[in-house]
Amino acid sequence: MKALSLLGSTGSIGAQTLDVVRGLNAAGAEPCTVAVLAAHSNVPLLERQAREFRPQAVTLFDPAAAKDFKDRTRDLSIPVFSGIEGLCRAAAWETADVVLNAVVGMVGLRPTLAALGAKKPVALANKETLVAGGELVTRAARENHVPLLPVDSEHSAIFQCLRGNECSQVKRLLLTASGGPFFGKTREELANVTPEMALRHPNWSMGAKVTIDSATMMNKGLEVMEARWLFDLPVEKIQVVVHRESIVHSMVEYADNGVIAQLGAPDMRLPIQYALTYPNRLPCPAPELDLFQVGSLSFFPPDTEAFPCLSIAVEALRRGGLAPAAVNAANEQAVAAFLQGRIGFLEIPELAAGAAARQPDCSGADSLDAVLEADRAARQYVETQLNGR
């Protein structure tokens, strides 16, 4: 019986993780209990989840929501925590065997470090953790001898394609990208797109932030950084391939020019389950892949002219140090501002590039304080730009 600490349980990945847990328990092959559930402020959904899964504790980041939850669930007598301390406590929960981090944004970094410090394997959906703190996080995993298991579908695919092969014989990672809702559009055509249009992803149903990141292709830039840290490969060995159908989830090319791909229906429950049951492969709620219905698969080079976020992220990774943390933080702020209707779509890359250019010190990414300071400075830069208009 595996006990799970689930951070971000009320989100898209969180809810699908609980669906996977239901499936594993129904099949009985690898039953799973839920030790802790954590969210930001969605009290009604967290209450429903707590009544179904009976965790030993819950955390709500927002203190008022934590109090509300406590008032509504007196009959359950579950300890309720809040704030970043509560989130880190949930991540290091003593009886948890694995932590699935599915919170959105840089706020996931400290809980990831807390989980690794407590020697818990971390199934990581929260890519911002690796983008901003890749050096810190991979070092903590190494030092504590615990694995980082990818949940992001592309990274799970690469992880699966690497099994049984030598990393030293990898020539390239081929990271697939759907191209998002604006594939084929020119820069001019993107100037007036609205949040509503950007939130309509053709293949995946996801949280708002990652959906906007997919529309700008910043998501793929963040995923290049994620791949660099998860698989310890230089940026030159990571190639982005636009693949509209989201059936090939990524590929690995080896020294002999053999390419191994992982395919499946676009459904996150497969990579989530693989991270929880690895190295076992068990029946999963994700649907079967019907290749006859798919018919054909297409592949294109990315258009970095219309979607500069990809190049901005790759360039930050090349510079190294704290530049990726700056890009990540500025992007988080810019995406929030776009969703609030405060800025246009094309201002997202402008703000991310501006914050990266202002990040002077490109060493220091091995210190949590330095990463947090780079994050703060980039957010402040974005706010100053927004307020000065």
Q: Which residues are near Mg ion by CB under 5 A?
A: 152-154
In terms of phi and psi (left: phi > 0; alpha: psi -120 to 50; beta: otherwise), the region of 250 is: left
In this chain, which of 20, 35, 36, 42 binds ligand NDP, going by CB under 6 A? 42
Report the half-sphere exposure of 333 (CA within 13 A, side-chain side): 24
Distance between CA atoms of 226 and 327, rounded to whole angstroms?
14
Distance between CA atoms of 20 and 156, rounded to whole angstroms?
16
Q: Give the rounded distance of the alpha carbon of 319 from its chain centre.
A: 22
Tell me whether residue 55 or residue 105 sits nearer to Mg ion (CB atom): 105
The one-letter amino acid at 115: A
| Residue 38 in the binding site for ligand NDP (CB under 6 A) | yes
Tell me whether residue 87 or residue 122 sits nearer to ligand NDP (CB atom): 87
Closest CB 214 distance from Mg ion, rounded Å: 8
Q: Which of the residues 267 through 306 are near ligand NDP (CB under 6 A)?
A: 268
Closest CB 14 distance from ligand NDP, rounded Å: 5
State the binding partner of 13 from Mg ion, ligand NDP, none, CB within 5 to 8 A by kind: ligand NDP
In this chain, which of 4, 5, 6, 12 binds ligand NDP, going by CB under 6 A? 12
Whether residue 247 contacts residue 297, with contact meaning beta carbons closer than 8 Å, is answered with yes
Closest CB 250 distance from ligand NDP, rounded Å: 12
Tell me whether residue 46 or residue 313 sits nearer to Mg ion (CB atom): 313
Closest CB 323 distance from ligand NDP, rounded Å: 20
| Residue 41 in the binding site for ligand NDP (CB under 6 A) | yes
Binding region for ligand NDP (CB under 6 A) out of 121-129, 187-195, 276-284, 342-350: 121-129
In this chain, which of 39, 80, 88, 330 binds ligand NDP, going by CB under 6 A? 39
Q: Please give the residue whose beta carbon sits closest to ligand NDP in the complex.
A: 11
- Contact pattern for ligand NDP over residues 138 through 167, marking x by CB under 6 A: --------------x---------------
Distance between CA atoms of 202 and 206, rounded to whole angstroms?
11
Tell me whether residue 102 or residue 225 sits nearer to ligand NDP (CB atom): 102
Q: Which of the residues 190 through 219 are near ligand NDP (CB under 6 A)?
A: 204, 206-210
In terms of phi and psi (left: phi > 0; alpha: psi -120 to 50; beta: otherwise), the region of 243 is: beta
The one-letter amino acid at 290: D
Distance between CA atoms of 321 and 316, rounded to whole angstroms?
9
Residues that bind ligand NDP (CB under 6 A): 8-14, 38-42, 61, 87, 102-104, 107, 125-128, 152, 204, 206-210, 268
